[in-house]
Structure 1
Amino acid sequence: MKLSELFSLERGNSPLVNYGALERGIHAVRLEMCQSTYMNERAPFDYVAGRTEAMQTGLARMVGAALDAVQALAPTSALS
């Protein structure tokens, strides 16, 4: 399988297809996480506070870094 096929928008990435529009410069990112990073995977399937807080902190840092990179790469007029 070619790398382009592996990351193809037709392979179950419908949110990317629905929200991204590369021809117009609109990109979409899909992030998937294992449920065990923030909740018990056995009944009662509740959230685990310590895991949730750590996950939120890491996620906020990742999203912040991604936004910083986009702003650094994008022309000023594209962000207004």
Structure 2
Amino acid sequence: MFFQVLGAVAEFEHALTSERTMDGLAAASARGRTGGQKPKFGPRQVQLAREMYDSGDCTAQQIADEFGVSRPTVHRFLGKTVHAQPTGST
């Protein structure tokens, strides 16, 4: 019976912690804050990395070494950018 009481108290404590966490996240969201790590690349860096990669002079590993990030990070950011298709007159 003693362990059942301890289990019930622990479960109640967990529920309170979870509720407080959700309230805190909701309050932060209302203030415009988001969680998580800041992006490794800014918009200008993404543009420079895209230009370096598209020119064919640099590999993804060379770009990663230049910016101090991992190669998968370079591929992730290069994959997010959308190429504007040139519109030629016909």
After TM superposition, is the score higher than 0.5?
Answer: no
- TM-score, normalised to structure 1, is 0.32
Higher-Rg member (1/2): 2
Question: Which structure shows the higher helix fraction?
Answer: 2
Q: TM-score, normalised by structure 2?
A: 0.29
